[in-house]
Amino acid sequence: EREREREGEMEERKERERGEEEGEERRERGEREREERRERERERERERESEREREREEREREERERRRRDERRERERGERGGERERERGERRGEREEGEREREREREKRERERRERERERERERERREREEERERERERERERERESMSPSPAI
């Protein structure tokens, strides 16, 4: 009786241990599968990231090409030599259309400001010439008055 009981207990223990081992193996297999899925997901994310990077580089390259073509056209037209070069250097780092739009606006305002300044300068020079002519006429009248006045008797 005790012998059978002991055999039964040993059988139960073996069964329990086998169950625990299988449970452990299942848990480890599940863990490995989860890790492999995470690794595949990370790999896909890296691929998507490198694809985005390639697209971004392609866009930047096209932008540089376009900018180079534009600059060449501007150079060929020969507008605003050195200043154009400097502004191109400033613009080289810009990427987005909005920045270019603001840049064009700024250039337009700058041109208008310079034009107004030139206009004021021309106006100032015109006034100075006018004042100079007025002073010259005044001196002329002064000389005439002096020549008209009787000279003191010697």
Provide the residue ranges of all domains of the chain, joining segments of one domain with +. 1-42, 101-144
Q: What is the pLDDT at residue 146?
A: 85
Instruction: Return the half-sphere exposure (C-beta side, CA atoms, 13 A cut-off) of residue 113.
Output: 6
**Cα 102 to Cα 120: distance, rounded to the nearest angstrom:** 26
Measured distance CA(16)–CA(105) in Å, rounded: 81
Task: Tell me the two tokens of residue 76.
Answer: 């060929």
Grade residue 138 by pLDDT with cuts at 50, 70 and 90: very high
- What is the DSSP-derived secondary structure letter of residue 93? T
Higher pLDDT, 47 or 74: 47
Q: For residues 59 and 92, which has the higher predicted lDDT (pLDDT)?
A: 59
Average pLDDT across the chain, whole number: 88
Q: What is the number of alpha carbons within 13 Å of residue 50 lying toward its C-beta?
A: 5
Q: What is the pLDDT of residue 152?
A: 62
- Return the ∠ at Cα 126 (arms to 125 and 129), rounded to 5°: 85
Please give the single-letter amino acid code of residue 28. E
Could you report the per-residue pLDDT of 84-135, keeping only the tens digit for each?
666 666 656 555 667 778 889 999 999 999 999 999 999 999 999 999 999 9
Q: Which residue has the higher pLDDT, 99 or 14?
A: 14
3-class DSSP state of 153: coil
Give the range among 47-61, 91-105, 139-153 with minimum mean pLDDT. 91-105
Angle between helices 81-91 and 2-77 (to 10 degrees): 170
* Percent of the chain predicted with pLDDT > 90: 70
